[in-house]
Amino acid sequence: MPSLRVYRASDEFARELAARVARWLLLGLGGLLILVGLVAEIVPPPIHFMGMPFIVIGLMFVLRNSFKARRRFVEMQQAHPRVVFPIRRLMRREPEIVQVFWQQSLRVERLVLPRRVRFAVKSRRYLRRRLRRAPA
């Protein structure tokens, strides 16, 4: 009868191999989700808004399974904090989805539209005034 150490070694090897394969599969799935999200961000509006959730979920998979990707993400965060911060807010346990969406829409509006045409800022101010005047 062979010793038990031989079986333990092969069991540990099998577990380690399974963990590596699972990590690579999760990295591949995360990369695929990121690519799907990027493509969804480029296409016209009906699917356009589904891009960011796919990117965030894909980043979660990649960052949890790759030390190098985590290091790159931290470097990116230090180099470009305004770009990475909304992604970090969406990756929290209880993400602030509405607030992030609103902030990003204000940023895009500021980049694209001239000051006199900005819709979101004017509508927010209008709603704020209406809610303040409403009887309690």
In tens, the pLDDT along 66-104 reads: 899 889 989 999 999 888 888 888 777 887 878 877 777
Neighbours of 55 (CB within 10 A): 20
Percent over 90 (pLDDT), the chain:
16
Band (33; pLDDT cuts 50, 70, 90): very high
pLDDT in tens, 39-48: 888 887 666 6
Residue 78 is predicted with a pLDDT of 92
Give which of 110, 113, 85 is closest to 99, Cα–Cα.
Answer: 85
Scan for tokens 């070694």, then name that residue: 9
Residue 123 tokens read as 């509508």
User: Could you give the 3-state DSSP secondary structure of residue 118?
Assistant: coil
Q: Which has more confidence, 94 or 121? A: 94
Rounded Cα distance between 102 and 108, Å, is 10
In the block, residue with structure tokens 């092969």: 10
